[in-house]
Amino acid sequence: MVTEESVREALKRVKDRDLNKNLVETGGIRELKVKDHNVSLKIALAKIGTPEQLELQQEIVNVLKSEGAASVGLRFEQLSDEEIRNLGGLNEDEFTGPALLNPNGPTTFIAVTSGKGGVGKSTVSVNLATTLVRLGKRVGIIDADIYGFSVPDMMGIEDRPAVKGNKIYPVERFGVKVISMGFFVEDNAPVIWRGPMLGKMLNQFFTDVEWGELDYLVLDLPPGTGDVALDLHTMLPHSKEVLVTTPHATAAFVAARAGTMAIKTHHEILGVVENMAYFESKITGEKEYVFGQGGGERLAEELKTELLGHIPLGQPDIDMENFAPSIYEKDHPIGQIYVKMAERIIQKIEK
């Protein structure tokens, strides 16, 4: 049975890499709660936003799950300068980790999430990424929906990442650098890995991929609040969140759980996107609200954020020579909606 005492004892086996002392010795356990085998922690480290933090996060999760924890929620903050001095100080070498994870780097993480599957989260992810490129931004996308990866197919990608030495080079399509679990399975095989293996793969997406300099990295998260989504929330020191729902009340209700998890893990919610908001007849111009109305507004109100846009039911114009079945062109009516959404997101992030 996992208890506060057993958690503290287990964390004596986990060291702050920059101080070479365990988390009990550093006084790094700021908050600790155990309820129904679920562990919630706030940990202070000498440095945050580094590759070492990603390794440590995964180590904490693995150690506590081996002690019987059903889930592990993690938040991080930095030890004060005085605390670091009292602990013997740290090596102030220049940052040598992946540029993507440099805490002073230019990259903003945008996580696109939903409460349930089938609401068009991946469609929003790929169109947001390609639209940001059209607006002059350097963009990557991680298809982190490990079990339901679809980004390569949606973007019409047939190539695979190149591997040179110990580095993986993402595939580039429409100016977006893309990494997906779909690149690493054969013949659309199902992924039957367990948590630790998935966590290791996700960690590689951040540390072993040569992203170059990015302004934005879009993360297409799996739906809901399961282990993979929670691992990603804890891997990233900070991210911005976009919640996708349909107008249906149930979709908005379950999306609220994903939004609440983002808030509890100290990530900022940029806003809500209501997908499949209506169907507009090309003949009459009349709008039919197939899935009802108001889900997006209710979700935005509950999470105290804004509604970024209503996206209608529709399909991109298919160009067989440059096949990408889910990407809207800039001048398409729905493409214009994505432009307005992306401009608003840039405004909120770069204000």
- Give the H/E segment covering residue 271: strand 268-275
List where CATH 3.30.300.130 sits in the chain: 4-93
Q: Which of 12-16, 113-117, 229-233, 309-313 has the lowest mean pLDDT?
A: 229-233
Q: What pLDDT does 295 receive?
A: 82
Q: What pLDDT does 231 receive?
A: 58
* pLDDT of residue 313 exceeding 80: yes
Query: Tens of pLDDT along 3-12?
Result: 999 999 999 9
User: Is the separation of the CB atoms in 113 and 150 below 8 Å?
Assistant: no
Q: What pLDDT does 171 receive?
A: 94
User: Is the separation of the CB atoms in 59 and 53 below 8 Å?
Assistant: no
Q: What pLDDT does 312 receive?
A: 94
End-to-end CA distance of the chain: 48
Query: Tens of pLDDT along 53-72?
Result: 888 888 899 899 988 999 99
Average pLDDT over residues 320-337: 90
Q: Which residue has the higher pLDDT, 190 or 52?
A: 52
Residue 225's φ and ψ, nearest 5 degrees, are -130, 35
Query: Tens of pLDDT along 93-104?
Result: 545 555 666 656
User: Is the separation of the CB atoms in 62 and 95 below 8 Å?
Assistant: no
* pLDDT of residue 190 exceeding 60: no
Model's pTM, two decimal places?
Answer: 0.70
242 three-state secondary structure: strand
Sign of CA dihedral 328, 334, 336, 341: negative
Average pLDDT over residues 236-242: 76
What residues contact residue 104 under an 8 Å CB cut-off, 6+ apart? Answer: 95
Encoded tokens for 247: 């107008």
Calculate the alpha carbon distances from 222 to 123, 145, 247 in Å.
13, 4, 20
Q: Which residue has the higher pLDDT, 271 or 49?
A: 271
* pLDDT of residue 350 exceeding 80: yes
* pLDDT of residue 307 exceeding 90: yes
* pLDDT of residue 92 exceeding 70: no
List where CATH 3.40.50.300 sits in the chain: 101-350
Confidence grade of residue 88 (pLDDT, cut at 50, 70, 90): confident
Quote the mean pLDDT of the chain.
83
Average pLDDT over residues 227-254: 70
User: Is the separation of the CB atoms in 156 and 325 below 8 Å?
Assistant: yes
> Tokens 């440059």 belong to which residue?
322
> Tokens 């903003």 belong to which residue?
108
Q: What pLDDT does 173 receive?
A: 94
Residue 310's φ and ψ, nearest 5 degrees, are -105, 125
* pLDDT of residue 230 exceeding 60: no
Average pLDDT over residues 164-182: 90
Q: Looking at the domain 4-93, which fold is it?
A: GMP Synthetase; Chain A, domain 3 (3.30.300)
* pLDDT of residue 16 exceeding 70: yes
Helix 51-66 and helix 227-235: axis angle, to 10°? 140
Q: Looking at the domain 101-350, which fold is it?
A: Rossmann fold (3.40.50)
Task: In whole angstroms, give the CA distance from residue 59 to residue 231.
Answer: 11
279 three-state secondary structure: strand
Q: What pLDDT does 267 receive?
A: 66
* pLDDT of residue 318 exceeding 90: no
Exposure string (b/e) for 180-190, b if CB count within 10 Å is 16 or more? bbbbeeeeeee
Q: Which of 101-115, 119-133, 225-239, 260-274 has the lowest mean pLDDT?
A: 225-239
